[in-house]
Chain A
Amino acid sequence: MVTRPSPSLVRRRLAAGLPAAAIPWPAAADDAFPVTVRDAAGRSVTIASPPQRIVPVFPSNVEIVHALGLGSRVVAIGGRVRWPPEAMDKPSIGGAVGYSPEAAAQHHPDLLVVTPSHHSALALADAFERLGTPVLQLAHPDLPSVLRNLLLLGRATGTLARARQLASDFEAQLASIRAAWQGRSVPTVYLETAAAERGAFQTIGAGHYANDALAWAGGRNVFEDLRGSVQVSAEAIAARDPEVIVSLQQRPRPAAAIAARPGWSSLRAVRTGRVVVLARGHALIPGPRQVDAVRAYAQALHPGAFA
């Protein structure tokens, strides 16, 4: 049986999420170089001078770097990147079928930004570490860590002021979204990140930033007891009977297709018409545009609040 979480619990969760007190560096030495930062892998990385030839790998890292205004300092990108438009003109070092250290080396990078969840990215990182090029590994198990990544990169590239600006912007938007649905009941939601026609339903649990995003949007993930990206069975979804179904699709098809899945008509989300299809796009990129994803979720979960 799914019960509505108590308001105090929600408040405590949100409060714990804000990274306001997370920055350890003194304000005076904000942009001094050389700087030693600690990345997501816990490694201390020393950067001698502001990097001028940056290679971000993975769409989220590309977005963060560009959001910090460093577009002119990006010499190459890696991953299936679609945003921002100016990034798509940069030379690619791979993405669909792996990353090429040689292609990256061609550009003589002085900073690499990678995400360890992509195995081939680690091989890339390995190669450059041996050359002495600084490599920052970023991870994003929740939304606060996305903000931490922003600040970390800002510090590492000498754009901390801009990073702080972006971060507080982000928090302000999150706060306004929260204010919009505050006081309404928090529905349970099943977030479908991928699915085949009639099976292989993929969703996320705790430890994934989308889980966090749902909480910020005023929803409760029915599968929050699971961890990371998981495949769940149809009957498990039925057993938890979410109030809202949000489906992320690359090429969005009508919500009726989901309602037509055999047996799904008995789910209350389908019966009450609370099935929403969203374009996958930025929803699964843990970068500055996550706030748009949160807004999209919030609109799906609390349509009345955003009318």
Chain B
Amino acid sequence: MRPAPVVRRPLAPALLVLAALVAAVALLAMSAGARWVSPLQWLPMDGSIDAALAWTWRAPRIAAAFFVGACLATSGLIFQGVFRNPLAEPYLLGSAAGAGVGAALALLLPDRVPPALSLPLLAFAGAWAASLVVLAIGRLGGAWSSARLLLAGVAIAAILSALRSLLVMLFGDESTNLRAIVSWQLGGIQTPSTAEAAGFAAILLVLMLAAHRLAFGLDALGLGDEVARTMGIDTSRFVAAAIVVAAMATAFAVAWGGLIGFVGLIVPHVMRWWLGPLHGRLVGACVLGGGALLVLADTVARTAIAPGEIPVGLLTALVGGPFFIALLLLRRAAAAT
């Protein structure tokens, strides 16, 4: 039986669909929460209580959720390209755990440096250092091995998670609020000021541009290290640059959302399945898809047990895990036909 031909979906319509999805989810997110407010009531920015609730309290948080989701998905996309494995994601590879250690240090030492500055810096340092260690281990003995990189990542993630927990347990009570840190560790979207939310847009733009520039190299890496080198790519330098970009994205995500897993794994995976493996096509899709997913997750997090909140990282893990298993099963069935 002849295998069916595959025609890749055209990109522009797909992006439009995703943009529409983002708009729909944002609409839902603005309306839902501790109290449901219909769009008719909050859309006019007329200073009424409902409008204030939506625009003052919800909108900044929604912006942060979108930003965190977009960063996680972009980071996952780059990691999957560099490690040549669809299971790679910042959480699994220790990058998020590294950011967690950095962020924990920043939270535990609020007197030395103001957390507003130290948190993203230390988170980035942690994410970057963790990724470099994983790369170094994965490369031991010369040639890369995708499997070895993943294993190294999982090991480093475990070590760093334990380190973070230890730091928090030993020093948590001294300078800051233990419960808040524990909650943050489980994932929670922080609320930015308007200036900070505007900053998100700029940072996201930079990240997207960087990811686009990496796209061809990531595709080439997928053909094999040697083929990539014969295509003129300095693979060591390229991988190092890619890791820096991915670490930055991870750091921002962790700084504003705590430790949230699965988004970096699932979104690139789904987009690749939908749009094909060429990375240039996937950057925009991952940003929109990751953003939409996390806005939705955060909406559930602050609505389901209102006025209480569920840590959003718990939600993504609870839902993400089974969803991913379902994905795997579906793909196996499709590949078998």
Query: Which A residues form the contact surface with B (CB < 8 A)?
Result: 80, 96-97, 193-200, 202, 223, 226, 229-240, 249-251, 261-263, 266, 280
B178 proximal to A (CB < 8 A): yes
Contact partners of A239 in chain B: CB under 8 A: 34-35, 53, 307
Contact partners of A236 in chain B: CB under 8 A: 34, 306-308
Say what secondary structure dominates the interface of chain B: helix
B191 in complex: contacting residue of A230, A251, A263, CB < 8 Å: A263
Q: Once bound together, how far apart are the Cα atoms of A236 and B306, in whole Å?
A: 7
28 contacts between A and B (CB under 8 A): A80-B173, A97-B169, A97-B170, A193-B177, A194-B179, A196-B183, A197-B119, A197-B190, A199-B189, A226-B308, A230-B308, A231-B183, A231-B308, A231-B311, A233-B34, A233-B306, A234-B61, A235-B34, A235-B57, A235-B302, A239-B35, A239-B307, A251-B176, A262-B60, A262-B196, A263-B60, A266-B52, A266-B56
Q: Once bound together, how far apart are the Cα atoms of A195 and B311, in whole Å?
A: 13
A250 in complex: contacting residue of B169, B174, B307, CB < 8 Å: B174
Contact partners of A250 in chain B: CB under 8 A: 173-177
B320 proximal to A (CB < 8 A): no
B194 proximal to A (CB < 8 A): yes
Q: How many A-B pairs fall under 8 Å by CB? A: 112
For chain B, give the interface size range: 35 or more
Q: Which of B57, B192, B194 has the most CB of A within 10 A?
A: B57
Contact partners of B166 in chain A: CB under 8 A: 97
Q: Which of A97, A232, A239, A262 has the most CB of B within 10 A?
A: A262
Determine whether the beta carbon of A261 is less than 8 Å from that of B191.
yes
Q: Which of B53, B116, B174, B307 has the most CB of A within 10 A?
A: B307
Determine whether the beta carbon of A198 is less than 8 Å from that of B192.
yes
B184 in complex: contacting residue of A97, A200, A232, A261, CB < 8 Å: A200
Mark contacts of B181-213 with chain A using CB atoms, 8 A cut-off: 1 yes-contact digit, 0 otherwise.
101100011111110100000000000000000
Determine whether the beta carbon of B179 is less than 8 Å from that of A232.
no
Determine whether the beta carbon of A235 is less than 8 Å from that of B190.
no
Contact partners of B110 in chain A: CB under 8 A: 251
Q: A239-B35, A239-B307, A251-B111 are in contact. Are A194 and B180 (CB under 8 A)?
A: yes
Contact partners of A249 in chain B: CB under 8 A: 177
Determine whether the beta carbon of A198 is less than 8 Å from that of B190.
yes
| Residues 91 to 123 of chain B near chain A (Cβ within 8 Å) | 107, 110-111, 115-116, 119
Q: Which of A194, A229, A235 has the most CB of B within 10 A?
A: A235
Q: Once bound together, how far apart are the Cα atoms of A80 and B172, in whole Å?
A: 11
Q: Once bound together, how far apart are the Cα atoms of A71 and B303, in whole Å?
A: 49
Contact partners of A199 in chain B: CB under 8 A: 184, 188-191
Determine whether the beta carbon of A262 is less than 8 Å from that of B307.
no
Determine whether the beta carbon of B309 is less than 8 Å from that of A232.
yes
B138 proximal to A (CB < 8 A): no
Query: Which B residues form the contact surface with A (CB < 8 A)?
Result: 33-35, 52-53, 56-58, 60-61, 107, 110-111, 115-116, 119, 166, 169-170, 173-181, 183-184, 188-194, 196, 302, 306-309, 311
Q: Which residue of B lies closest to A230 (CB)?
A: B308
Determine whether the beta carbon of B60 is less than 8 Å from that of A202.
no
Contact partners of A261 in chain B: CB under 8 A: 191
Q: Which residue of A lies closest to B165 (CB)?
A: A97
Q: Once bound together, how far apart are the Cα atoms of A200 and B190, in whole Å?
A: 8
Determine whether the beta carbon of A195 is less than 8 Å from that of B57.
no
Q: A97-B169, A202-B180 are in contact. List 19 more A-B contacts (CB 8 A).
A: A96-B169, A97-B170, A193-B179, A199-B184, A200-B309, A230-B308, A231-B183, A231-B188, A231-B311, A232-B307, A234-B61, A239-B34, A239-B307, A250-B176, A261-B191, A262-B192, A263-B56, A266-B56, A280-B177
> Whole-angstrom distance from the CB of B171 to the nearest CB of chain A?
9
Q: Which residue of A lies closest to B33 (CB)?
A: A235
Q: Once bound together, how far apart are the Cα atoms of A200 and B257, in whole Å?
A: 10
> Whole-angstrom distance from the CB of A12 to the nearest CB of chain B?
26
Q: A194-B177, A239-B34 are in contact. Are A234 and B307 (CB under 8 A)?
A: no
B178 in complex: contacting residue of A194, A238, A263, CB < 8 Å: A194
Q: Which residue of B lies closest to A265 (CB)?
A: B56
Contact partners of A96 in chain B: CB under 8 A: 169-170, 173
Q: Which of A198, A233, A249 has the most CB of B within 10 A?
A: A233
> Whole-angstrom distance from the CB of B22 to the nearest CB of chain A?
21
Q: Which of B116, B169, B184, B309 has the most CB of A within 10 A?
A: B309
> Whole-angstrom distance from the CB of B258 to the nearest CB of chain A?
8
Determine whether the beta carbon of A263 is less than 8 Å from that of B57.
yes
Determine whether the beta carbon of B53 is less than 8 Å from that of A235.
yes
A197 in complex: contacting residue of B34, B115, B302, B308, CB < 8 Å: B115
Q: Which residue of B lies closest to A262 (CB)?
A: B193
Determine whether the beta carbon of B183 is less than 8 Å from that of A202.
yes
Contact partners of A198 in chain B: CB under 8 A: 190-192
Q: Which of A194, A237, A261, A263 has the most CB of B within 10 A?
A: A263
Determine whether the beta carbon of B307 is less than 8 Å from that of A226.
yes
Contact partners of B183 in chain A: CB under 8 A: 196, 200, 202, 231
